[in-house]
Amino acid sequence: MPTLTETDVRAQLDRLTKPPGSLGSLEDLAARLCTIQQTLRPVTRPRLLALFAGDHGVVDEGVTAWPRAVTAAMVENILAGGAASSVLARSTGTLLRLIDVGTQAPARPESEGYRCARLAPGTANLAHQPAMDVDLFEAALAIGASEAARACEHGVRVVAGGEMGIGNTTPAACLAALLGGFSTAAVTGRGAGADDATLARKRAVVERAVARARPLLARQPRLAMAAVAGFEIAAMAGFYIHAARSGLTIVLDGFIATAAAMVAEQLAPATATAMIASHGSAEPGHAPMLAHLGLSPFLDWRMRLGEGSGALLLMPLLDAAAAMIRDMASFDSAGIPRA
């Protein structure tokens, strides 16, 4: 049981020199941060975006508007500093580390910002066979966990998971339907810009894959999840589980990151209690997925890019929330009369 409850935090917020509640969502953000960190003096740095990349066999089904080669090209772009995630990480003072868990990108030397941990050059095509077997699923989880452990060793206090993988809204939709009990139609959207024909193909694929996986869920949940997962999604789930166990604060990104959070919650219940939902995605399934995890997003900015971009935007607002509760004077300390 936590020692510091939300009620305690709200009481402290009401001692500060402002009308009670007048900072609205900033107070909610501070309350969430303080209850996760169990302190009235929360910290928001150092912080890290662990960005997991993987390719997807299901791209062969025509479920996305983008060619598969874009995953590899975007890995290069992220590491060269030109992607949205690279730019927003710099702008918000967030470390970025890209972990290739299974792309078709060319090998390159490892560095502080890059790890090659490729399990395969992409998953199998989940429309026709399991995306991966349970061993690969476990291996992806373990890679994610090792990244959380590494972050802890480096003194990181706040983490976000991000992803890059052309086609990955398809496995994310499958996992959401499988684990949240949602209809496949409710969680299958246009991703990075699918047209009507692409969306129709995607829906049929998701419907079929989930129908195969569902009967396995009760007795062989890892087999069921592995059948419709992505390497980067499983790695993110392992990252979240280990981060939460290690006392890190997790800032959750959008649709795919939330599908990974559902995997994490399935494997390690209460992982979501360490999470702050950054934004509500333009992808229609995202809102019920967040609700399923008991989370409310802070930004409603119609974003649908991935790469951890929404989580990065929340980082400076996390700084502001932490500074507010840490550094504002109280009515008593400042000698100010109350209403």
Strand partners, 335: none
DSSP state string for 196-218: HHHHHHHHHHHHHHHHHHGGGTT
Helix-strand-coil split of the chain, %, nearest 5: 50, 10, 35
Q: Binding of its own copies at residue 20 (CB under 8 A)?
A: yes
Stretch that binds its own copies, among 59-67, 151-159, 219-227, 266-274 (CB under 8 A): 59-67
Question: By C-beta, is 36 or 84 nearer to its own copies?
Answer: 84
Task: Kindly state the tokens that stand for 181.
Answer: 């009990």
Minimum gap (Å) between residue 226 Cβ and its own copies: 28
Binding-residue pattern over the window 176 to 195 for its own copies, x denoting contact by CB under 8 A = ----------------xx--
Q: Binding of its own copies at residue 319 (CB under 8 A)?
A: yes
Closest to 162 (Cα-Cα) out of 76, 68, 283, 261? 261
Name the residue type at position 238.
G
Task: Kindly state the tokens that stand for 81.
Answer: 């500093």
Say if residues 122 and 132 touch (Cβ distance below 8 Å).
no
Q: Is 147 a catalytic residue?
A: no
Closest to 126 (Cα-Cα) out of 60, 199, 219? 60
Q: Binding of its own copies at residue 95 (CB under 8 A)?
A: no
Classify residue 272 by its DSSP letter. G
User: Catalytic pick from 27, 61, 163, 307?
Assistant: 307
Minimum gap (Å) between residue 37 Cβ and its own copies: 17
d(CA 284, CA 189): 6
Minimum gap (Å) between residue 176 Cβ and its own copies: 19
Q: Binding of its own copies at residue 31 (CB under 8 A)?
A: no
Q: Binding of its own copies at residue 26 (CB under 8 A)?
A: yes
* Furthest C-alpha separation in the chain: 70
Binding-residue pattern over the window 60 to 79 for its own copies, x denoting contact by CB under 8 A = -----xxx-xx--xx-xx--
In the set 33, 209, 260, 303, which binds its own copies (CB under 8 A)? 303
Which residues sit at the interface with its own copies, rule CB under 8 A?
Answer: 16-20, 22-26, 65-67, 69-70, 73-74, 76-77, 80-84, 87-88, 90-92, 192-193, 282, 298-305, 309, 312-313, 316-317, 319-320, 323-324, 327-329, 333-339
Q: Kindly list the catalytic residues.
A: 307
